[in-house]
Amino acid sequence: MENKIVAKNVNLHYGSKHALKNVSLDIKENAITAFIGPSGCGKSTFLKTLNRMNDYVENCKIEGTILLDGEDVYDEKVDTTVLRKKVGMVFQQPNPFPMSIYDNIAYGPRIHGIKNKRELDRIVEESLKAAALYDEVSDRLHTSALGLSGGQQQRLCIARALAVQPDVILLDEPTSALDPISTLKIEELLLDLKDKYTIAIVTHNMQQASRIADYTAFFLVGEMIEYGQTKDIFSIPKDKRTEDYITGRFG
């Protein structure tokens, strides 16, 4: 499988805190890659470097290279609007805008200049269908998205990310605030989506990683300890620390 994203020797400092230490990692195209590790290990931080969401954090310095389709993400000529159209993001807490369901989905396409009503209608419908939410909300597209349940809100956020037709979707613990049924729906959805998209997911939940991820990377205090096919990581981990973590000895 092709490498979609190649990260080489990425170092990240928050002020005096060395949050990522020399992380190198390849993310394969049309696969799900999971980042696991205890709280504060740098997995979310690493995820955010991939679409430059750390740009808004004060005193944040990044060294090393991250290539997306061979292009340097941190080149100063990069337009972050275009980058984030290609690399979408879904956050831990479902964060729909206080607008209608329709306007939430249309938000991204509108940024990128799509104004035609019929075109937007089509995108909204397709995105909601792709996020397995259309049947539940098709009769109330113009009501507030804040009236949806937590699980529906999160699928709405995934639909919103899909609406700009990204190549890569980054998910930062997308199910940690959800109940088991909603979690299951989102996991199924991600498995469906990987044929079309490259997916990177941060998760606290090791079972989740083993259920859905093709590749898994284990992080610990800013270092990427081990990375490989999920089945290998969970059955024959090479590093003692990975083994301790996945067998529940700490974390």
Q: Residues 58, 76, 139, 195: which binds other proteins (CB under 8 A)?
A: 58
Q: From residue 246, how far is each of 98, 173, 206, 230, 249 by CA, in Å?
A: 39, 17, 7, 12, 8
169 vs 206, beta carbon nearer other proteins = 169
Please choose, out of 32-40, 65-73, 156-164, 182-190, the segment that lies near other proteins by the rule CB under 8 A.
156-164
CB of 218 to other proteins, least distance (A): 25
CA 39 to chain centre: 17
Find the binder of other proteins among 5, 32, 53, 178 (CB under 8 A). 53
Least distance (Å) between residue 97 CB and other proteins: 6
Rounded Cα distance, 135 and 137, in Å: 6
Q: How many residues bind to other proteins according to rule CB under 8 A?
A: 32
- Of 80 and 235, which CB lies nearer to other proteins in the complex structure? 80
Report the distance separating Cα 133 and Cα 250, nearest Å.
37
**Interaction mask 184-213, other proteins, x per CB under 8 A:** ------------------------------
Q: Are 145 and 136 in contact (CB under 8 A)?
A: no
Examine residue 57 and tell whether it contacts other proteins (CB under 8 A).
Answer: no
d(C-alpha 140, C-alpha 149), whole Å: 14
Residue 12's SS3 state is strand
Q: How far apart are CA 4 and CA 234, in angstroms?
A: 24
In terms of DSSP H, where are the helices of the chain?
43-49, 80-86, 101-111, 117-130, 134-137, 150-162, 180-193, 206-212, 230-235, 240-246
Rounded to a whole number of angstroms, the minimum distance from the CB of residue 38 to other proteins is 23
Kindly identify the residues of this chain, within the stretch 61-100, that bind other proteins according to CB under 8 A.
80-85, 88-89, 91, 93, 95-99
Retrieve residue 98's tokens. 């206080």
- Residue 143 interacts with other proteins (CB under 8 A)? yes
Interacting residue with other proteins among 146, 177, 184, 221 (CB under 8 A): 146
| Sites of contact with other proteins (CB under 8 A) | 51, 53, 56, 58, 80-85, 88-89, 91, 93, 95-99, 107-108, 111-112, 140, 143-144, 146-147, 157, 160-161, 164
